[in-house]
Amino acid sequence: FLAFLTACGSEPPPKPAEVPALSELPLIPLPASITDGEGDAYYETYTGQVMPSSDAIIGDAQRYLYSRLPDLVLPLQFDVRSDLAEGAYRINFRDGNIEVSAGTRDGMLNAVKTLEQVLHFSGADAGAVYISEGTISDEARFPYRGFMLDVARHFFEVEEVKAVIDRIAPYKINHLHLHLSDDQGWRIEIKSWPKLTEIGGKSEVGGTPGGFYTQEQYSDIVAYAAARGITIVPEIDMPGHTNAALSAYPILNEDGKATEPYTGTRVGFSTLDTDQDSVYVFIDDVVREIGALTPGPYFHLGGDESDATDHEDYVKFVNEVQKIIKRNGKQPMGWDEVATAALDPGTVVQLWAHPDYALKAKAAGNPVLMSPATRAYLDMQYDSTSRIGLHWAAYIEVDSAYLWDPANLAEGLTDSDIMGVEAPLWGETIQNLEDIDYLTFPRLLALAEVGWTPQERRDWDDFRRRLRAHQTWLKDQGIGTYDTRVLQEE
Ligand code: TNX
């Protein structure tokens, strides 16, 4: 598929003294392999309309690229090649042509995300560009690179969630985990249990008005994310972290009485009544309704910090809820405590605090998702002067977010046991997009590279060089990234 051939006639602008080699461009995450060629080529870019391909593998990548760079027309050729693995891609810059190859839709999307950075850092925004010849051959270290947004502690509107999707997609984050319920709020319409949002959706931390997504709005988020290569992972946290549901439906409580709405930030005080049949009917309804709106494979059941649930009850509950999720056609995920129950085949264990539970998951043959609070929690402060954020796990400066290896967290765990990396942004101290930006950027770029780039290719000094360029780019886009001191130091 040939998008357009180069324009003729006009004189190229003077060639810069040095056209950077492909391997010198500040790409994040760093591709697995970059081979520099000999020469370079001039590309003229100008406004024009290009019809996206109707091909299922190519069309979305083209639409994504044109949405990011509406003024760009280039001699681009897209080839579907079945010898490239899921998510993998290759870009050849050769003889004045740019050939983009991948075997899957995700691979094409990954390719154009890299291409956008190549063009930007080669000066394409100014209307014309010299790019060195060479080849980028790339493939993720882990299939799952995630970001989690807690919309329960403070609610975020659909437009804010879409802005988050726009910000994370360029860094090849391919899962957005939405923490849709907690003690302080229930954020998604469930038609068979309307009071969840009528009552449970009203509150949030601090007593300000909460909110919720209608099913239509949730579907809109799902589609917006999918077009950008991102799968939504819905979470309903249970049996603890459930005060919002318990305030809406007395029947879910052990004492049969509705609780008061909660707007503080304590954890571990609420529990569903795990002995009651109607509680499991409730869960089945919730999983079925959300599952029907969610094309992605996962349903996250939470399962963390259930301190108000007897352990025996917790185990019975998690065992049962895994079955409900599977009956509804989804693959269960849970915070690492779920490994204290009997794991069903396929249930994903998300490590946040307990490496031992990750090892239990491995022993049972279950996949592990890495979100160590000391490295990957975006709600942790950078240092003691950070204007928002918590620090119960650690202060996490950008170097600390970068300098770890997911395969070194628990003795005996190797890459093949690990599904990927996810960076959770808990919402106790954040209220708007500015707050999200401050805690997420630039740290998410470090975590994106941890999840994508082969460990032996990762180097802190080189990352810092590349991150400086992205820090400027983020600011140019109006993204309120944190001015970290680690980029100012020599
Ligand atoms: C622990 S991490 C929690 C969340 C809090 C977070 C704050 C986890 C699975 N549970 O409920 O929001 O700490 O950092």
pLDDT of residue 78: 93
Ligand 1 contact via 305 beta carbon (within 6 Å)? yes
Which uninterrupted H or E stretch holds 244?
Answer: helix 243-248
Phi, psi of 422 (to 5 degrees): -135, 140
Both 375 and 398 in one domain: the answer is yes
DSSP at 51: P
pLDDT of residue 321: 98
- Please report whether residue 206 resides in a domain: yes
pLDDT of residue 1: 40
From first to last of its 490 residues, the chain has per-residue pLDDT tens of 444 444 444 577 777 878 899 999 999 999 999 999 998 888 776 555 568 888 889 999 999 998 998 877 788 899 999 999 999 999 999 988 899 999 999 999 999 999 999 999 988 766 678 899 999 999 999 999 999 999 999 999 999 999 999 999 999 999 999 999 999 999 999 999 999 999 999 999 999 999 999 999 999 999 999 999 999 999 999 999 999 999 999 999 999 999 999 999 999 999 999 999 999 999 999 999 999 999 999 999 999 999 999 999 999 999 999 999 999 999 999 999 999 999 999 999 999 999 999 999 999 999 999 999 999 999 999 999 999 999 999 999 999 999 999 999 999 999 999 999 999 999 999 999 999 999 999 999 999 999 999 999 999 999 999 999 999 999 999 999 999 999 997 7
CATH of the domain at 446: 3.20.20.80
Q: How far is the CA of 15 from the centre of ligand 1 (A)?
A: 53
Both 248 and 262 in one domain: the answer is yes
Q: Compute the distance between CA of residue 438 and CA of residue 68 in angstroms, rounded to an integer.
A: 23
- If one residue of 149, 238, 305 were mutated to test the ligand 1 pocket, choosing by the most ligand atoms within 8 A of its CB, it would be 305
**Which atom of ligand 1 approaches the CA of 335 most closely?**
9
Name the residue with tokens 């239990």.
Answer: 360
pLDDT of residue 302: 98
Both 168 and 81 in one domain: the answer is no
Domain-ending residue, one of 138, 169, 196: 138
Both 364 and 230 in one domain: the answer is yes
* DSSP 3-state of 194: coil
Both 408 and 371 in one domain: the answer is yes
CATH of the domain at 48: 3.30.379.10
Both 266 and 395 in one domain: the answer is yes
pLDDT of residue 314: 98
Work out how many domains the chain is built from and give that number.
2
Structure token pair of residue 325: 């999720």
pLDDT of residue 45: 66
**Which atom of ligand 1 approaches the CA of 182 most closely?**
11
pLDDT of residue 431: 98
- Please report whether residue 3 resides in a domain: no
Both 126 and 151 in one domain: the answer is no
Q: Compute the distance between CA of residue 410 and CA of residue 315 in angstroms, rounded to an integer.
A: 23
Domain-ending residue, one of 138, 161, 177: 138
Both 91 and 211 in one domain: the answer is no
Domain-ending residue, one of 138, 169, 194: 138
Q: Compute the distance between CA of residue 201 and CA of residue 407 in angstroms, rounded to an integer.
A: 39
- Please report whether residue 14 resides in a domain: no
* DSSP 3-state of 158: helix
pLDDT of residue 18: 82
pLDDT of residue 5: 42
Question: How far, CA to CA in Å, does 174 sit from each of 146, 170, 366?
Answer: 6, 10, 21
- Please report whether residue 10 resides in a domain: no
Both 95 and 208 in one domain: the answer is no
- Please report whether residue 4 resides in a domain: no
Nearest CA residue ID for atom 2, ligand 1: 352
Q: Compute the distance between CA of residue 5 and CA of residue 252 in angstroms, rounded to an integer.
A: 64
Cβ contacts of residue 222 below 8 Å, gap of 6+? 232, 293, 294, 295, 296
Both 110 and 177 in one domain: the answer is no
- Please report whether residue 46 resides in a domain: yes
- Please report whether residue 180 resides in a domain: yes
Q: Which of 305, 337, 397, 428 is catalytic?
A: 305
Q: How far is the CA of 378 from the centre of ligand 1 (A)?
A: 11
Residues 243, 244, 248, 253, Cα dihedral to 10°: -20
pLDDT of residue 126: 66
Ligand 1 contact via 304 beta carbon (within 6 Å)? yes
Q: Is 305 noted as a catalytic residue in this protein? A: yes
CA-nearest of 354, 323, 360, 353 to 339 is: 360
- If one residue of 236, 262, 267 were mutated to test the ligand 1 pocket, choosing by the most ligand atoms within 8 A of its CB, it would be 267
CA-nearest of 124, 121, 98 to 111 is: 98
Containing structural domain, residue 116:
22-138
pLDDT of residue 6: 42
Q: How far is the CA of 291 from the centre of ligand 1 (A)?
A: 24
- Please report whether residue 16 resides in a domain: no
Both 332 and 283 in one domain: the answer is yes
Question: How far, CA to CA in Å, does 101 sit from each of 191, 207, 287, 320, 399?
Answer: 44, 51, 38, 44, 34
Q: Compute the distance between CA of residue 383 and CA of residue 439 in angstroms, rounded to an integer.
A: 11
Nearest CA residue ID for atom 7, ligand 1: 426
Nearest CA residue ID for atom 11, ligand 1: 267
Both 456 and 482 in one domain: the answer is yes
